Amino acid sequence: MVEWLVRPDPDDPRLTELVSGIDHTGAEVTSRVPTERPLTLYLNGQEIVTMMTIGDRPDCLAVGYLLNQGMIAASDEITGVDYDDELGVVVVRTPARTVFEEKLRKRTLTSGCAQGTAFGDLLERFDGVRLDPAAKLRTSWIYALSRQINTCPSLYLTAGAIHGCVLCEADTPLVYMEDVGRHNAIDKIAGWLRLNGMSTDGKLFYTTGRLTSEMVIKTVQMRIPVLISRSGFTAWGVQLARQAGLTLIGRAKGKRFLCVAGAERLVFDADPREAGPDGPDRKGTAED
């Protein structure tokens, strides 16, 4: 049995709602669907962004977003994370003005300027990251992780229209976060790691969603050398993975997977014919 550090709680009533509709036979039916609500993030006194989220773990999402966008550094002290559920506001506090706040203060902002500033810095930092060349990925781990993650109770299984990201070590899944956007799910893990003082050394990522440029950039920034998905890739995601030396594996379903970058880390230690199914049918898909 997997000893999860964090895993989804699909029975949490705050995360889904019942909606009524008509099915293909004309019968009236009800279906449980994930919630989607706005969360406005402040860094000290500066409003940063409003994100759409299912609403769980706002502290992890806020801290992870700031880290992955380069708005706070790993070395920055965080003195508090305050959340107001009624207002839908989360405030991350640091003892001094951050570098990002200084950049914003020196600019005349238009509606998209802040995000453009963050993205430019994001790519600059991406170019400087060097991933562990000695890291290995056993094919037996891919099969084991697929089975364990895809049979774990989750909103992904029960309601669809959701994305999940899982922090793993070898063939053991550790931290499983979900949200309406794959970027939110990975930010939650980054925030959880920062707030709990856990290193990414020896870790790998598994995601239910597409392997886009954003997913690759965030994985590389977190210095995780392996990213696996049961879904597919974008061309820029593949290009960036090859540039960074990230092992990128997609279409990992049942006995199959496709590695398009970092294949030198693969250790073929399992017979695909013995992999077996990777989990039950879902109510939604990774592309929802």
Least Cα distance to 155 among 7, 27, 5 occurs for: 7
Hey, is 10 helix, strand or coil? coil
Following DSSP, what letter does each residue of 2-14 receive, concatenated? ---SB---TT-TT
pLDDT tens digit sequence for 170-191: 999 999 999 998 889 999 999 9
Domain ranges of the chain: 37-127, 137-274
- 8-state DSSP, 265: G
Confidence at residue 275, expressed as pLDDT on a 0 to 100 scale: 72
Q: Tell me which CATH code domain 37-127 carries.
A: 3.10.20.10
CA nearest to 245, candidates 164, 129, 116, 156: 129
pLDDT on residue 182: 87
**What kind of architecture, by CATH, is found in domain 137-274?**
3-Layer(aba) Sandwich (3.40)
Interval 54-97: pLDDT, tens: 999 999 999 999 999 888 988 899 999 999 999 999 999 999 88
pLDDT surpassing 90 at residue 120: no
